[in-house]
Chain A
Amino acid sequence: MSDHGVTSPEISFAPEHASGTKRIWRTFWLLSLITVIELAIGLAIYNIHKGANPNATLVLFFKGMVCILTLAKAYYIVSIFMHLGDEIRNMIMTIVVPLMLFIWFITAFLWDGNAWKNLRNTNAGSRPAQTEQHQQHPVEKDAKP
C-alpha cells in the first residue's frame, strides 16, 4: 500500500489497483469487439441504402443499436480506463449525476429539430399574406365617395 498512493491527510486510503494487466487487456479486446460489431452494422446500413427499397424501420433499429453499443463503450472507457469504477461512491456520483442533464439536453433539442422539419414540410409556419388587407382599405375609400 505504501509503495504507491498519494500520502495526504485528506485521503484515508489509496484504492488498491490490480497487480496484473489482465483487466486492461480484457477491456481492450471488449472495446475492439464492440467497434467491429458497430462497423458491421454500419456496413449493413450502407447496403440497405444501396438496395432498391430501403427499409426505414430497419435502418432506424440498426442506428439505435449502434447508439446503445456506443454507450457501452463509453461505460467501459470511463469505468475501467479512467478508473472511475474504483473510486468511492461520492466521487462517482459527483461526476455522473450532473451528466444526467444530457437526458433533457438531447431529448429537447432533437425534438426541436424534428418540429422544425415538420414546419418546413407544411405551411404551418408560414404567415398569411397581409399585403392584400392593407391594399383593400384605400381602394374602398376611393370607391365610396
Chain B
Amino acid sequence: MSTTAIPTNTKWWSGGRSPFNASYGKVMMWYFLMSDAFTFGAFLISYGTIRFSVNSWADPNHVFNAFPFAGHANLPLAFVSLMTFILIFSSVTMVLAVHEGHKMNRKGVEKYMVLTILGGLAFLGCQAWEWTHLITGDHAVLVNGQIEHWGTTVSKNPWGHEVMHDGAMVATPGPIAFGGYFFGITGFHGFHVFSGVIINLVMLIKTRLGHFDQRGHYEMIEKAGLYWHFVDLVWVFVFLCFYLI
C-alpha cells in the first residue's frame, strides 16, 4: 500500500522509535479493542456452550420475524438485515470521515461525522423497537396444563417447541437461558453503540471548534473510527450467532 520506501534493514526493536510505527494512542486503542474482543468472545462462546448443551433451542426465524408497522406479517430476518445495513453504512461514512481527516478537510469530516452519528442513532432506535416488541409481545404458552400469555424476558420466554392442546398447536416454555443471553449480549453491544455515538459527538464538537486544525492532524478521528468499526465488527458476529444460525 505504502509507496514511501521503508528504509531497508530498519532495526524496529533497537529503541528510539515505535516498533509498530504508530502513535502511543493508536496502539493503545488497538490493545483496548483486542481486550474488548475477548470480552465479547467470552460472552458469545458461553452462549454457544449452553446452546450446544441442550437438545433444543429457540428458532431465530420464528422469534425475530416482525417488522415495524407490518402487523403480524411473518418476515424472518427482514428487520435485523435492515439493522445490519444501517451499521455497515455508518461504518462507511466513518471511514470517509477518517479519509477527509487525512486531507485536512474540516467540512468533509463534519459532514461524514454527522452521517455516522445519525446511523448510530438509527441503529439504537431499531434495537429499542426490537426489545420492546419482544418484551411486550404476548404469546400463548402451555404451562402445567394451563394456557398463559408470556413475553420474552430474561427469566422466561414462549419459544419452546409446539405441542397439541385442545385441538390446536400451542408453544411450550422455551430454553430458560435464551432471554438472558439475547438481552445480555445485544444489550452490551447496544451500550457500545451508545458510547460510540457519544464519542463521535465529542469528536464532531471538537472538529467544529477547530481543535484538530490547531493540532495539525486529525488522528483523534482515526481513533474514534477504530472504536466505531469495532462496534460494527462485533455486530457481524452477534448477527451470526443470534439471527443466522
Q: A42-B77, A102-B41 are in contact. Are A82 and B22 (CB under 8 A)?
A: no
* B191 interfacial contact with A, CB 8 Å: no
B41 and A16 form a contact (CB under 8 A): no
- Interface residue tally on A, bucketed by range: 35 or more
Contact with B along A92-121 (1 / 0, CB 8 A): 001100110110011001101110110011
How far, in Å, is A144 (CB) from chain B's closest CB? 49
Closest to A118 in B: B53
Residues of A within 8 A of B6 (CB): 12-13, 88
A16 and B236 form a contact (CB under 8 A): no
Residues of B within 8 A of A120 (CB): 53-55
- The interface residues of chain B, by DSSP majority, are classed as helix
Q: A5-B217, A42-B77, A117-B53 are in contact. Are A16 and B245 (CB under 8 A)?
A: no
Partner of B22, one of A11, A31, A74: A11
The number of chain B residues with a CB under 8 A from chain A is 72
Q: Which residues of chain B from 101 to 142 have any CB-CB distance to chain A below 8 Å in the complex? A: 101-104
Residues of B within 8 A of A129 (CB): none
Q: Which residues of chain B from 72 to 109 have any CB-CB distance to chain A below 8 Å in the complex? A: 76-77, 81, 84-85, 88-89, 91-92, 94-96, 98-99, 101-104
Residues of A within 8 A of B76 (CB): 42-43, 46
A-B contact pairs, 25 of them (CB 8 A): A6-B217, A7-B216, A7-B217, A12-B10, A15-B2, A17-B102, A24-B92, A28-B89, A39-B81, A42-B244, A63-B244, A70-B236, A70-B239, A77-B232, A83-B222, A86-B2, A87-B20, A90-B19, A91-B22, A95-B34, A109-B45, A109-B49, A116-B52, A117-B53, A117-B54
Other than the given A46-B61, A81-B232, 11 more pairs (CB < 8 A) read A10-B16, A10-B23, A24-B96, A25-B92, A28-B92, A42-B77, A42-B244, A77-B229, A102-B41, A105-B42, A116-B49
Question: A-contacting residues of B (Cβ < 8 Å)?
Answer: 1-4, 6-7, 10, 12, 16-24, 27, 30, 34, 37-38, 41-42, 45-46, 48-55, 59, 61, 76-77, 81, 84-85, 88-89, 91-92, 94-96, 98-99, 101-104, 216-219, 222, 225-226, 229-230, 232-233, 236-237, 239-240, 243-245
